Amino acid sequence: MVMSSLGQNLRYAVRTLRSSPGFSAVAILTLALGIGANTAIFSFVDGVLLKPLPYPEPDRIVRVLEKPPQGERNGISTLNFLDWQKDNSVFDYMSAMTGGGATLGGVAEPVQLRGGRVSARYFDIYGIKAALGRTFLPGEDQPGKNKVVILSNALWVTQFGAQKDIVGKSILLDNESHMVIGILPSGGAFDRASNQIWRPLAFEQSNMTRNFHWMTSYARLKPGVSLQQAKADMDAIGKRIEHDFPDSNKGWGVIVERYADTLIAPELRSALLVLLIATGLVLLIGCANLANLALVRGVAREREVAVRASLGARRWQLIRQFLTETVLLSIIGGLMGIAVGYGLLRWLQTQIPPFSFAREVAVTMDLRVLLFAMAIAVFTGVLFGLAPAMQVTSPNLANSMKDGGRGASSGGSRRRLRDALVVVEVSLAFILLVGSGLMMRTFFGLMNAESGFDATNTVTVGMPMPQQRFPDPLQLNAYLREVRAAVEAVPGVVETALSCAPPMQGTCYGMPMLVAGRPMVDRSKRDGGFYKIVSPSYFTAMRLKLIKGRALSDRDTKGSTPVLVINDRLAKRYFPNEEPLGKHILIQEIIPGKTALGNEISWEVVGVVASEKIGGPRDDQSAGVYVSNEQTPAYGMTLIVRAKLDPLSLANAISAAVHSVSKDQALGDFRTVDQIKEQALAGNRLQATLMGIFASVALLLAALGIYGVISYSVEQRTHELGIRAALGASKQNLLGLVLLRGLALTGIGLAIGLAGSLAVTRQMKSILFGVGAQDPATMIGVAAILAAVAVTACYIPSRRATKADPMVALRYE
């Protein structure tokens, strides 16, 4: 019986919707766009925030770091890690990890591979088994036993042609033979990782320190051990280490945190939630518009409803029929929305830089997402259909049976509902436009923010150099000078420089510092700053502004007085009211290629430069020092080339120049500094673009909603307006009368939207730059835009009212 009744409702719904193709098409298109946008953004929210990690019992995986006296988290030192590993009673496995890229040799042209070095039980923590071969055995992370390597599945396919017999064979990494022992599974988290190779992390005697924090550690909790128990156990170990080794560990503690909680930056979480809210607002605005259309359409069907009621149909049956029609529309719109969402998802994936998400993140339109899409389709069908259904099925049936039943159908309650829907549309559009405005101002603020250097025609390329190739740092520097000379001989090259990190890509080291002559402070309590190793030409090549003193020079060599250049932020921190030049700063020496710090030496300040954005476009706080690579040699430098023309057009010539010095030198990707900045801003650009699109759709829908309500109001008030015109009302009076209603609704919507935006934009604080979350200028601008759109939307039907012939209008009823 129920199925038969439902089938009858569906057949009647199809006939009814086919008889109103315009309404059906508008409804389906509106829903498809709204549901499609929600589906695409939810795919990211689901993949990034909601899906469980793709490992067995992921809640047992934790990250363990050191907690410095002044700060929240830091890397860990070798000896501290070994004590943690030996003394803990809460972990099944504990592993350390650090970077471990390598140059693949024995091929036509050296290839730089991204990689990591890990303790032997690293893969056991995640429950990862090799697809071919095996993972590391206990003991393979010991010196002399560590010349083995595991390949990612992607590298195995692209570089080695998916040859199964590669397992057990040796490949050349950094000019040393390594046996391939395993290939990781395809399609999983480790296939999405940026790393292409994994090698054992073997601690040499030179690594055995407590004052050089260079690793991260991960662990798997024993069954039944809680996170709090692990924290208590590690805190006890940390306190014992602090007591036994106060010189290196005074004030240091241990941080144990759930691995899943470390993967998503707060800014990313906020950005995704803001986008999801934005798409939700677009869909709600669309629903309000469709509800208004359904109300107007329902007027024409009141006579039909009255007839069916007089023939015995109950009100709930009539409401069910109307809801069947709207839900059918929404399901069709939902199916089309899935297609729209899939296309939008694929486009978004092309706009996001590689490795923007953790390796565990898999953004796909899977069954969970499809169920979400259909759920919101049904929900929106009920949402925009219920109120019109309730209204249409409750008229005075006797009046509706009359030929002149129009008056009953335009009762006060129906008008108030249409007005309320317009207010909702305006208020939601205001919130969305404010959010969009803030995102756009953030993006343009980041784009136009002063970087501290001139990026014009400047390109960077990584030059990895294993220590065993140049065990003598003096030999390393001689080689780098030779490379620079060869590149500078390329026609079109203006200047070259070296840096231990590319521009806007972070610092090389963070070091505790103390001004010489001031009261001695434990290193654990000193202020820290970046410590960047560069060639003396870095400042001119990057066009960094020299504020006072001099830059580093070729005369600053090993054996001469240790000197450094500070940025103006460090000058303001340490020397706010005195001359910094000639002062000395105490910093421990970096030992080339070693995970250990040397003696504390006194560095003379010889210059002050304007601050550059060390950590990226948002960096307004980095304070630190620059030292010459001639005094502190460093392996793995970035070559910076300034040219007279587009430097990427010189990439082949630059590569040839480098290989003329050493054919075994691997090179990373050539990237201009502008590309580095664009990549850093890709997320902000995408957010601003999406918010702009969503806001534009919301503005259009709000305008259509206002226009529809005012237009319908003019039609319903034709008789009244004719009487007013016949009694002498001017066209301006009639125009003002109609405009006033539309502007009143807009004003109420703006007031509610303002209150809503003050609450919603608080969630955006962490992703904004250069603008406050409750910026008055943005809100005033948005209010002005919405008011202008509302005036336009009201003016068109209002003009029609002033052109009506009073005699025709009087005969309207």
**Mind listing the pLDDT tens digit for each residue in 212-267?**
899 999 999 999 999 999 999 999 999 999 999 998 898 999 999 999 999 998 88
Structure tokens at 20: 């109103």
Task: Give dist(CA 810, CA 808) in Å, integer.
Answer: 5
pLDDT cut 90: percent of the chain above it: 59
pLDDT cut 70: percent of the chain above it: 88
Tokens 């319903």 belong to: 716
- For residue 403, the model assigns a pLDDT of 47
Higher per-residue confidence, 521 vs 336: 336
- The region of weakest confidence among 521-530, 713-722, 804-813 is 804-813
- For residue 802, the model assigns a pLDDT of 66
Task: Convert 122-149 to b/e letters by CB count within 10 Å (16 or more is b).
Answer: bbbbbebebebbebbeeebbeeeebebb
Strands 115-118 and 91-99: antiparallel
Q: What mean pLDDT do residues 265-276 have? A: 90
List helix spans (H) across 556-681: 568-574, 651-661, 673-680
635 and 465 in contact (C-beta within 8 Å)?
A: yes
- Picking from 350, 111, 80, the residue whose alpha carbon sits closest to that of residue 238 is 80
User: Residue 657 pLDDT > 50, yes or no?
Assistant: yes
Q: How confident is the model at residue 405 (pLDDT cuts 50, 70, 90)?
A: very low
Inter-axis angle of helices 412-448 and 731-760, nearest 10: 60
Q: What mean pLDDT do residues 663-692 have? A: 91
Q: Which helix (H) or strand (E) holds 221?
A: strand 216-221
- For residue 616, the model assigns a pLDDT of 87
| Three-point CA angle 668, 671, 672, nearest 5° | 150
Count the helix, strand and coil residues of the chain and give each as a percent rounded to the nearest 5.
55, 15, 30
Mean pLDDT for the chain? 88
Q: How confident is the model at residue 500 (pLDDT cuts 50, 70, 90)?
A: very high
Task: Give dist(CA 582, CA 607) in Å, integer.
Answer: 9
75: left (phi over 0), alpha (psi -120 to 50) or beta: beta
Q: How confident is the model at residue 455 (pLDDT cuts 50, 70, 90)?
A: very high
Give this prediction's pTM: 0.84
3-class DSSP state for residue 89?
Answer: coil
- For residue 410, the model assigns a pLDDT of 46
User: Residue 146 pLDDT > 90, yes or no?
Assistant: no
CA dist list (Å): 103 to 99, 203, 790? 13, 21, 63
Q: Phi and psi (nearest 5°) for 505?
A: -115, 20
Q: How confident is the model at residue 396 (pLDDT cuts 50, 70, 90)?
A: low
204 and 73 in contact (C-beta within 8 Å)?
A: no
Strands (E), 431-551: 458-463, 493-499, 509-512, 514-515, 528-534, 546-549
- For residue 740, the model assigns a pLDDT of 83
Task: Give dist(CA 607, CA 597) in Å, integer.
Answer: 25
**Mind listing the pLDDT tens digit for each residue in 740-769?**
888 888 999 999 999 999 988 888 888 899
